[in-house]
Amino acid sequence: MKKWISIISMALLFLSVQPALAQQPDYQKFGRIATAVVKEDYTGEKLADYKYDGRKTLSGGQVQDSFTFEVVKGSKEIIVKVNVVHNPAKPTELSLSVIEVK
């Protein structure tokens, strides 16, 4: 009897964890948007690396997701920062800023 309870418990645990693993992180959508903007701004250049820098909470219910890109322009590497400001309650409204770091 204990063996069956153990097996059922493990099955229920596995089923409850699986949907959590399938969900994509919220910032991933904004990372795709930031990548598209950088590719548009640096057409023909190679994106060498991409990093999610984190999320900051701003006033008015807004949040800022920050990303860092390494772009290879000719033989030079350029660091590009992209900030995506959005309100999770209004997902269609967002503001982007692209800054080339010297």
Per-residue confidence band for 70, with pLDDT thresholds at 50, 70 and 90:
very high
Per-residue confidence band for 24, with pLDDT thresholds at 50, 70 and 90:
low
Dist CA 78 CA 35 (whole Å)? 15
pLDDT score for 16:
53
Q: Amino acid identity, residue 10?
A: M
Q: Is 89 helix (H, G, I), strand (E, B) or coil?
A: coil
- Is the per-residue pLDDT at 2 higher than 80? no
